[in-house]
Amino acid sequence: MRHIAIIGSGPAGYYTAEAAQKKWGDDVRVDVFDCLPVPYGLIRTGVAPDHQSIKGVSRRYEKTALSENVRFVGNVMVGRDVTVPELQQGYDAVVLATGAPHDRKLDIAGAELANVVGSAAFVGWYNGHPEFAKLDPDLTGKHAVVIGMGNVALDVARILSKCRKELAGSDIVAHALDALCQSQLQSITILGRRGPHQIMMTPKELGELANLNCASPRVDLRDLPDEGDDAMLEPGLRKSVTHLRSFAAIPESIHAEKDIEIAFDFFASPKALIGEDTVEAIEVEVTKVEAGRAIGTGETYRIPADLVISCIGYRSSPIPDVPFDERAGRFANDDGRILNGLYCVGWARRGPSGTIGTNRPDGANVVDQIAEDFDTGVIGKGSKKGRAWFDELSAARSLEVVTFRDWKKIEEAEEQAARDGAPREKFVDVEAMIRAGR
């Protein structure tokens, strides 16, 4: 019997469990740990609440979770309740699928001002992540600035501009829905330090901005390169740029009908945040793009900003005793191998890029590495006790483990508490989750 511990129950974790099950059938036991009492990681707390069809992938993970040889071990934090070297004593292979839950730091003056928040915190707040549920951003100002031109920036700008009706079928948590519905925002500036040909936004997500009830996207035609230059772009990016071109053609009469303008500000690199205690403006430097890089021109200007959300990428959290690549913000690894018997997968391996589906081949790849290490004797077979070992340790430390069956009770309670038309009302507090699961 092979015993595998996977740390993290998001897409990378469950695709790895699925691949292990496929490879070894009944000859493997997999424990999927999560520090929260609830599974699915970014599917629950990262994917936008109005993208329910994407969240539907959790049904596939549930199939894996409900099989005999995979079990969910919730409410156990690795590094606090059990260390990685300890887990290596109990399991043949330990796989870190912990994602990249922290914001890449916005390293400019004024970043500590009130109402300057990172996307991990802001997205966590509207998605009900217990760590960020109390963020309470002030949405009473008129101007928001979203830094970054990736899909997270799009999620944030879209959620900020949707009205209650547009969020009706979403699972946005009540505290965020109430705050957003009272927002006084008139403008959301999406700030990019490079140009339209360098955006990281995918076409489907970008196109959604054209269909908002209360907001319209604005692009300045002068920022767009010659249309003929789009031919050299890869097809996805070309489609995204086509959306930008259509935004540039939106007539003023349409903008005038909407309460909120979502303005794309290209070639603008953030330099400083200005304000007494709370942010009031952002100073940016005009850039030009040379060989794909943003070069400052020395010319600066200010944009009013009552709320700033930086969506500039994520970092993994270091775990004691695990080699970490500080510069890259992820575990130091060689194609998923960290140390003998210790592996990483997903964002913890490659950094925060790619879609949910990218984690599927990633999971299969790490399982291939583990198989090779079993075959070559790098890791032994049959010497570890896996589940039985952990259950003993958990009892000795009085850990309050949440099982998949407990999670199903939490899920049922969340579904029962849903407002009309919504799929669920999430618990945003760990204790409340545990109580519901008992």
Which stretches of the chain bind ligand NAP, using CB under 6 A?
A: 147-153, 155, 192-194, 198, 200, 202, 205, 270, 294, 311-313, 352-355
What are the b/e assignments for 44-60, b being 16+ CB within 10 Å? bbbbbbbeeeebebbee
CA atoms within 13 A on the CB side of 400: 10
Q: Rank residues 149 and 402 by Cβ distance to ligand NAP and give the closer one.
A: 149
> What is the rounded distance in angstroms from the CA atom of residue 390 to the CA atom of residue 32?
12
Question: To 5 degrees, how large is the angle CA 120–CA 123–CA 124?
Answer: 75
Return the structure tokens found at 282: 């952002």
Of the two residues 142 and 271, which places its CB atom closer to ligand NAP in the complex?
A: 271
Looking at the Cβ atoms of 194 and 243, the one nearer to ligand NAP is: 194
Cβ at position 325, least distance to ligand NAP in Å: 17
| Residue 357 Cβ vs ligand NAP, minimum distance, rounded to whole Å | 10
Residue nearest to ligand NAP (CB): 150
Nearest CA to 427 among 73, 123, 41, 130?
Answer: 130
Q: How far is the CB of 84 from ligand NAP (least distance, A)?
A: 26
Question: Could you give the CA distance from residue 161 to residue 208 in angstroms, rounded to a whole number?
Answer: 12
Between CA 198 and CA 287 the distance in angstroms is 13
Closest separation in Å from C-beta 205 to ligand NAP? 5
If the CB atoms of residues 34 and 155 are measured against ligand NAP, the closer one turns out to be: 155
Give the Cα separation of 292 and 199 in Å (integer). 11
Supply the minimum distance, in Å, between the C-beta of residue 2 and ligand NAP: 32
Of 162, 97, 167, nearest in space to 366 by CA: 97
Of residues 56 and 354, the one with the C-beta less far from ligand NAP = 354
- Give the containing element (helix H, strand E) for 283: strand 279-290
* Residue 335 C-beta: closest distance to ligand NAP, Å: 19
SS3 of 122-167: HHHHHCCCCCCCCCCCCCCCCEEEEECCCHHHHHHHHHHHCCCHHH
Least gap, CB of 355 to ligand NAP (angstroms)? 5
Minimum distance, C-beta of residue 426 to ligand NAP, in the bound complex (Å): 19
Choice between 298 and 377, CB closer to ligand NAP: 298
Nearer to ligand NAP, 265 or 406 (CB): 265
Minimum distance from CB of 191 to ligand NAP (Å)? 7
Residue written as token pair 């991990």: 120
Run of H or E residues at 302: strand 293-304
Q: By three-state DSSP, how is residue 120 classified?
A: helix
DSSP state of 78: B
> Is 95 or 237 the residue whose CB approaches ligand NAP more closely?
237
Residue 92 or 285: the one with the smaller Cβ distance to ligand NAP is 285
Closest CA to 190 of 112, 268, 300, 242: 268
Between 206 and 379, CB nearer to ligand NAP: 206
Shortest Cβ 371–ligand NAP spacing (Å): 28
Integer Cα distance of 173 and 425 in angstroms: 6
Nearer Cβ to ligand NAP (148/437): 148
Q: What are phi and psi of 76, to 5 degrees?
A: -120, 120
Interatomic CA distance for residues 204 and 211, integer angstroms: 12
Q: How far is the CB of 384 from ligand NAP (least distance, A)?
A: 35
Q: In Å, how far are 29, 335, 343 from 6, measured between CA atoms? A: 11, 17, 9
